Structure 1
Amino acid sequence: MTVYRLVASFILAISIYSCANMSRPGGGPRDETPPVFIKSMPVPNALNVSKQKIEIEFDEIIQVDKPSEKVIVSPPQKDMPEIRTSGRKITVILKDSLLPNTTYTIDFSDAIIDNNERNPLYGFAYSFSTGPKIDSLQVSGILLNARDLEPITGMLVGLHSDLEDSAFQKLPLERIASSDELGHFTIRNVTPGKYRLFALKDMNRDYRFDNPSEDIAFLDSIVIPSADVKLHVDTIWKDSVTIDTIIEYNHTHFYPNDILLTAFNEGFQSQYLDKSERKDRRKIDLYFKAPADSLPKLKPLNFEQEDWAILERSFHNDTLQYWIKDSLIYNMDTLLFTAEYFRTDTLRQLSLYNDTLKFIMKKVKAPKKKEKKKDKGNDSIEVPEIQFMQMNAKISTSLDVYKPLRFSFAEPLQTYDAEKIHLEQKRDTLWIPVADSLYTFLQDSIAIRDYTLTYKWTPGESYRIVMDSTAFTNIYGLFTNTYKQEFKVKALEDYANLYLSISGVSDSAFVEILDSGDKPVRTAPVINGGAEFMYMNPGTYYARLFIDRNGNGKYDTGNYSEKRQPEEVSYYPQELELKANWDIEQDWDIYATPVDKQKPEKIKKNKPKEKKRNY
């Protein structure tokens, strides 16, 4: 047995030898080998470079895929470099003047691909220095979406040596990298020192957070890059029991190498009136671009009336419908208003704005009525068809035990007659009325055309809802037709019950049960270390928890000016298989699995191909 202490030249020789295997021509297996670096001018890590042209050669014909998106030059460039390919060669021409005594890095990520099979060369980077030394430290980690822990691809990650909070907003990042398809990032060729670390979805390519609509991430602590050299040992075997050679070599480790950044959007939206329209003669619609804390003030200009409409608004006041009550008004072809509302000004501040709105309703010719043929010898009088108000009843024939009955009407109601609403339960073959005092029928506080009937259903029993004609009358005098619907409430044995026993949570928290599309289907608070979900339909589910730091009962994003990180999120790392008539209790330590490994693969949206490295 022979022991070799390898020098750099020996390692390079092995690399070149291993990369020299060429695939067979037509008829052989599919080429899955990425391009291999051959040489460059200047050479890698060259010193005292003054030319702005770099040429890099590979072992086969190559392309650069989406260079403006994938190729990152650090320090960042004001003007995009020119990147072109010719055969096996890439030529990069830097447009900005080179800074003195500065290490430059051109990070190609996975942009370099071979011409035939488009096999990418992952993680290839080229460096040089304009001074007598090259900076060599690195900072690496992973970038995830704060809300759903998805790896983020193609987002800038950068360092600032200016430790002031305002530097991120006023100055361009000094050294940058781009996150790969797994969310990993490595900032190369860093000078020793202290830094602040940020991530930025740069919308205007100025390398600073000067647009509140940009996605960002920031690390609370200071980053101090460092490195150490460790001895690594590899073994070459003659066969399964005999060692041929032990190879020892030094490997440099860079720190920190395990940073976790969670990216978020502050939720800023410019506020303005996006659209105003009158598709229905009886109402006008206003659509604002962002949620609003207050309602606009509308003042009629071509008619005089105080209480002229019923307002229907969305939860965030960004969609407003004004239902005009008086026929003298809605029969007018043109309606004019002054509108006073808040909109975002050039300083991105909300300011009061006065607008004039004009709503025009074009007259539509009524279709000609077909004359009804009279039977010979019979005189008949045509009775006009009764027009009823439309009602949409959202009732499944198999009703979940915890769900109410929901009804939606085409127009706002003027009144309804509770005595014409009948809930009945089936006993043998008879329908027995349910006492009015045992159920409620209430209007939604926001969606004013929606109503809910709530009752404590008996599992496994059959019910029906009967609504007599004229039970509901809208503000235009139309009433509903007779309505009848039978349904059966699911039995308890049709459900599964889930209890999650959660450790690692000291603050208030909420658990969301997710479907296979990563969408919440149920939410429950963590109480006394656990979250309970009763009456779950059988199926495969997933679980996500967020720490409700401010106790407002909902997930909150971060804010850089307030130095507030987004609320912390954890995923249960396995799927939850719920079966009918089962009670399941599951332990969950939210910190037992690293954050980047928590989200189950089956619901991950970002699923990159396996990487092939050969350089």
Structure 2
Amino acid sequence: MGQPDGGLYDETPPRIVGATPADKAVGVSPKKVTIYFDEYITVDNPTEKVVVSPPQIEMPEIKGAGKKIVVELRDSLKPATTYTIDFSDAISDNNEGNPLGNYTYSFSTGDHIDTLEVAGSVVDASNLEPVKGILVGLYPTTPDMAFTAADTAFTTTPFLRVSRTDSRGRFIVKGVAPGQYRIYALQDMDNNYFFSQKSEMLAFSRDIIVPACKPDVRQDTLWRDSLHIDSIVPVRYTHFLPDDIVLKAFTEVQTDRYFLKSERQKPEAFTLFFSNGDSRLPEVRGLNFDDRGAFVVEASEKNDTVTYWLRDTALVNTDTLRMEVRYMGTDTLGALVSNTDTLEILPRESYEKRMKRMEREREEWQKKQEKARKRGDVYLTEMPAEALEPEYDIESEPAPDRNITVVMPSPLARIDTAAIHLYSRHDTLWYRSPMVFREREGKPRTYELLGEWRPGTEYSLEIDSAAFTDIYGRVSGGMKKGFRVRTLDSFGSLIMTVEGMADTAIVVELLDTQDRVVKSVRTSDGTAEFFYIKPATYYMRMFVDSNGNGKWDTGDYAAGRQPEEMCYYPERIECKAKWDISLSWNPLERAGDRQKPMAITKQKPDKEKTIKRRNEERN
């Protein structure tokens, strides 16, 4: 006994049976387009997948209704212009989801249809990740028009033709007329189709694009079933050029400076956040307190985040700090001018709540001591003062090039370096080992201990009580930590010869499987040497350090400056203990969209829509 199953599954994609106006019609004036199909269809995410070109400032309405799709253009139609509606893979049948495939409808308000295409890809200039959903557009130009003259269109006028990248970062600009163009990419935040905000990701090229086409032949594979090839046949098609454009997108440095917010996470300090840094730190004038000598000021590397530690405990216990803050900020013309704000800064936990919490903690401590006294154990009669608790970053088996890091929870008033001892063990005896304890540059409240770390040697770091005292009088407790530096047999080494970079300043970075930097080497002779590498799988990238600051720098459109060139080694690197690896690499051998290994690419391609072929399984 059983139930009838209803027959074969539908494995046929929807078929277009007509359109009003007809596809590739000329002399069109209506702004409403209706496309008819032979079965019920659905349109998947039309606001993201469907692209109308030329771009529409007022978003068109796209609806799938029954066996038809209705597109209503709200902008006025331009004369003698080819319009394309690129549905990509958004159309599929309603029952089984069989995709129609990439479909583009076009019509012209003039007497002919422009059919040329321009294709390529967009990657993030900082890490070569494919950029999904970014707009790519064209502007007309001439050979005698300098780039500085053409760039005004990108900042004032919408794109002439437009497309959008897919999950692989690929784009195809369709309906292009013969001529010469410049090409741009834009993460359009305000939907005006030109670069108007510095926060918008963009890409540009100085090359002039000349669309063309030629007849070509490709090899198509016919499958007998999902496992066996039936035959490979040549297929003639029209090859549109160029189809290998690579645009590297970047976000400019935010130069506009304005006040963002204030925070007081701890009662001992408050922080002021700005959109960008300035050489002059803000001036704080207390309105309900005396600000003379009241602060220990900590600024971030870019001076865009400034923390003020309160020296006086009376200020720490004050819930509301009223102050006048004077800082440099940009006006509407982009010039730095003095601004003054009046702020009231409150802690996350009020003084009253802190006192109640401390009282509860004291009562719990007293109960524990009373229980210890009744049991006859050791107990205390006075609660110890709050101690300073540094964070020690000490590995049990560090590499010889790894130093010890100490992070303080609050600014220090005193460091007793005589209370810091480093010992090394030779045979069975312990000897004092030379070391340097210093503050790390650009890292507030962060210190590092440098020593002569010898492979295979056992060390002991011993810090006496009261070695560190903060501005509130809290002192640190004693600490003792032993560790053994790994032997050279535990590591491998890697020497990478970067071809074509013998006289160029570059930074070569060794990456883990999460695309994070493990080691970095600056070189100007084309050879990067990495030592003390733990056995693991690694990847590698490099960038041209044009300004010699050791950091990757973004581009500047107004100055016509591209971001610093980033390249990825296309293969993985297996490092083993006691192995010395020598490799060579030509970073310009592959285009930028084909360099980064898929294993560490975070922007994975979307699953391609295909016919499900359920009848094979059913049969």
Query: CA offset at residue 275 of structure 1?
Result: 2.3
Query: CA offset at residue 284 of structure 1?
Result: 2.2
Query: CA offset at residue 561 of structure 1?
Result: 0.6
Mapped partners of 1:504, 1:120: distance in 2? 47
Query: CA offset at residue 282 of structure 1?
Result: 2.5
CA-to-aligned-CA distance 1:210-256 (integer Å, 9 cap, x gap): 11111111110111222233577989999xxxx9999885x332222
2:477 is the alignment partner of 1:481 = yes
CA-to-aligned-CA distance 1:1-53 (integer Å, 9 cap, x gap): xxxxxxxxxxxxxxxxxxxxxxx986868x77654444322222111112222
> Which of the residues 100, 112, 132 maps onto 2:111?
132
Hey, what does 2:615 align to over in structure 1?
A: none
| Aligned-partner SS, 2:594 | helix
2:87 is the alignment partner of 1:91 = no
> Which of the residues 536, 544, 548 maps onto 1:547?
544
Report the identity percentage: 41
2:60 is the alignment partner of 1:81 = yes
> Which of the residues 286, 291, 316 maps onto 1:330?
316
CA-to-aligned-CA distance 1:285-317 (integer Å, 9 cap, x gap): 222233444311112233335322111222222
Mapped partners of 1:244, 1:565: distance in 2? 47
Hey, what does 1:602 align to over in structure 2?
A: 599
Hey, what does 1:342 align to over in structure 2?
A: 328
> Which of the residues 14, 17, 20 maps onto 1:41?
20
Query: In the alignment, residue 221 of structure 1 is paired with which amino acid?
Result: D
Hey, what does 1:572 align to over in structure 2?
A: 569
Q: 1:349–1:107: structure 2 CA closer, same or farther, 3 Å change rule?
A: farther
Hey, what does 1:319 align to over in structure 2?
A: 305
CA-to-aligned-CA distance 1:361-398 (integer Å, 9 cap, x gap): 5322332553665979x9x9823324321111111111
2:392 is the alignment partner of 1:413 = no
CA-to-aligned-CA distance 1:529-557 (integer Å, 9 cap, x gap): 21111111111110111112232221111
Q: 1:551–1:172: structure 2 CA closer, same or farther, 3 Å change rule?
A: same
Mapped partners of 2:105, 2:602: distance in 1? 31
Query: CA offset at residue 268 of structure 1?
Result: 2.1
Hey, what does 1:6 align to over in structure 2?
A: none
> Which of the residues 26, 33, 46 maps onto 1:54?
33
- Tell me whether 525-534 or 363-372 shows the greater mean CA deviation: 363-372
Q: 1:155–1:334: structure 2 CA closer, same or farther, 3 Å change rule?
A: closer
Q: 1:342–1:397: structure 2 CA closer, same or farther, 3 Å change rule?
A: same
Q: Is the CA contact (8 Å cut-off) linking 1:137 and 1:226 kept in structure 2? A: yes
- Tell me whether 229-238 or 575-584 shows the greater mean CA deviation: 229-238
Q: 1:118–1:312: structure 2 CA closer, same or farther, 3 Å change rule?
A: farther
Query: In the alignment, residue 606 of structure 1 is paired with which amino acid?
Result: Q
> Which of the residues 192, 206, 223 maps onto 1:220?
206
Hey, what does 1:516 align to over in structure 2?
A: 513
Q: Is the CA contact (8 Å cut-off) linking 1:33 and 1:612 kept in structure 2? A: no
Hey, what does 1:498 align to over in structure 2?
A: 494
Q: 1:236–1:432: structure 2 CA closer, same or farther, 3 Å change rule?
A: closer
Unmatched tracts of structure 1, length 5 or more: 1-23
Hey, what does 1:154 align to over in structure 2?
A: 133
- Tell me whether 286-295 or 258-267 shows the greater mean CA deviation: 286-295
Query: In the alignment, residue 301 of structure 2 is paired with which amino acid?
Result: F
Mapped partners of 1:196, 1:176: distance in 2? 12
Query: CA offset at residue 319 of structure 1?
Result: 2.3
Query: In the alignment, residue 18 of structure 2 is paired with which amino acid?
Result: K
Q: Is the CA contact (8 Å cut-off) linking 2:98 and 2:610 kept in structure 1? A: no
CA-to-aligned-CA distance 1:396-422 (integer Å, 9 cap, x gap): 111121111111222211112222111
Mapped partners of 1:195, 1:496: distance in 2? 51
Mapped partners of 1:592, 1:46: distance in 2? 44
Query: CA offset at residue 485 of structure 1?
Result: 0.7
Q: Is the CA contact (8 Å cut-off) linking 1:157 and 1:177 kept in structure 2? A: yes
Q: 1:59–1:501: structure 2 CA closer, same or farther, 3 Å change rule?
A: farther
Query: In the alignment, residue 415 of structure 1 is paired with which amino acid?
Result: R
2:173 is the alignment partner of 1:187 = yes
Q: TM-score normalised to the size of structure 2?
A: 0.87
Hey, what does 1:196 align to over in structure 2?
A: 182
Mapped partners of 1:76, 1:244: distance in 2? 42
Q: Is the CA contact (8 Å cut-off) linking 1:462 and 1:489 kept in structure 2? A: yes
| Aligned-partner SS, 1:463 | strand
Mapped partners of 2:232, 2:397: distance in 1? 71
Query: In the alignment, residue 351 of structure 2 is paired with which amino acid?
Result: K
Query: CA offset at residue 137 of structure 1?
Result: 1.6
Q: 1:25–1:588: structure 2 CA closer, same or farther, 3 Å change rule?
A: farther
Q: 1:26–1:349: structure 2 CA closer, same or farther, 3 Å change rule?
A: farther
2:445 is the alignment partner of 1:441 = no
2:281 is the alignment partner of 1:310 = no
Query: In the alignment, residue 422 of structure 2 is paired with which amino acid?
Result: L
Mapped partners of 2:223, 2:606: distance in 1? 31
| Aligned-partner SS, 2:252 | coil
Hey, what does 1:173 align to over in structure 2?
A: 159
Query: In the alignment, residue 492 of structure 1 is paired with which amino acid?
Result: L
Mapped partners of 1:324, 1:546: distance in 2? 42
Unmatched tracts of structure 2, length 5 or more: 225-229, 612-619
Q: 1:342–1:219: structure 2 CA closer, same or farther, 3 Å change rule?
A: same
Q: Is the CA contact (8 Å cut-off) linking 2:40 and 2:66 kept in structure 1? A: yes
Matches within 5 A, 1:237-252: 251-252=237-238
Mapped partners of 2:109, 2:194: distance in 1? 25
Q: 1:612–1:409: structure 2 CA closer, same or farther, 3 Å change rule?
A: closer
Query: In the alignment, residue 339 of structure 2 is paired with which amino acid?
Result: Y
Q: Is the CA contact (8 Å cut-off) linking 1:312 and 1:446 kept in structure 2? A: no
Query: CA offset at residue 117 of structure 1?
Result: 4.8
Q: 1:233–1:153: structure 2 CA closer, same or farther, 3 Å change rule?
A: closer
Mapped partners of 1:287, 1:548: distance in 2? 29
Hey, what does 1:63 align to over in structure 2?
A: 42
Hey, what does 2:80 align to over in structure 1?
A: 101
Hey, what does 1:450 align to over in structure 2?
A: 446
Q: TM-score normalised to the size of structure 1?
A: 0.87
CA-to-aligned-CA distance 1:553-598 (integer Å, 9 cap, x gap): 2111111111111111111111001111111011111122333221
Query: In the alignment, residue 259 of structure 1 is paired with which amino acid?
Result: I
Hey, what does 1:403 align to over in structure 2?
A: 402
Hey, what does 1:556 align to over in structure 2?
A: 553
Q: Is the CA contact (8 Å cut-off) linking 2:395 and 2:483 kept in structure 1? A: yes
Query: CA offset at residue 104 of structure 1?
Result: 0.5
Query: CA offset at residue 71 of structure 1?
Result: 1.1
Query: CA offset at residue 427 of structure 1?
Result: 2.9
Query: In the alignment, residue 149 of structure 1 is paired with which amino acid?
Result: L
Q: Is the CA contact (8 Å cut-off) linking 1:493 and 1:580 kept in structure 2? A: yes
CA-to-aligned-CA distance 1:70-96 (integer Å, 9 cap, x gap): 211111112111111122321111112
Query: In the alignment, residue 301 of structure 1 is paired with which amino acid?
Result: L
Q: Is the CA contact (8 Å cut-off) linking 1:312 and 1:447 kept in structure 2? A: no
Q: Is the CA contact (8 Å cut-off) linking 1:151 and 1:606 kept in structure 2? A: yes
> Which of the residues 251, 256, 281 maps onto 1:295?
281
Query: In the alignment, residue 285 of structure 1 is paired with which amino acid?
Result: T
Q: 1:597–1:233: structure 2 CA closer, same or farther, 3 Å change rule?
A: closer
Mapped partners of 1:237, 1:475: distance in 2? 77
Query: CA offset at residue 136 of structure 1?
Result: 1.6
CA-to-aligned-CA distance 1:332-355 (integer Å, 9 cap, x gap): 443332111123444455432111
CA-to-aligned-CA distance 1:130-149 (integer Å, 9 cap, x gap): 12111122211111111111
> Which of the residues 578, 588, 591 maps onto 2:588?
591
Counting matched residue pairs gives 580
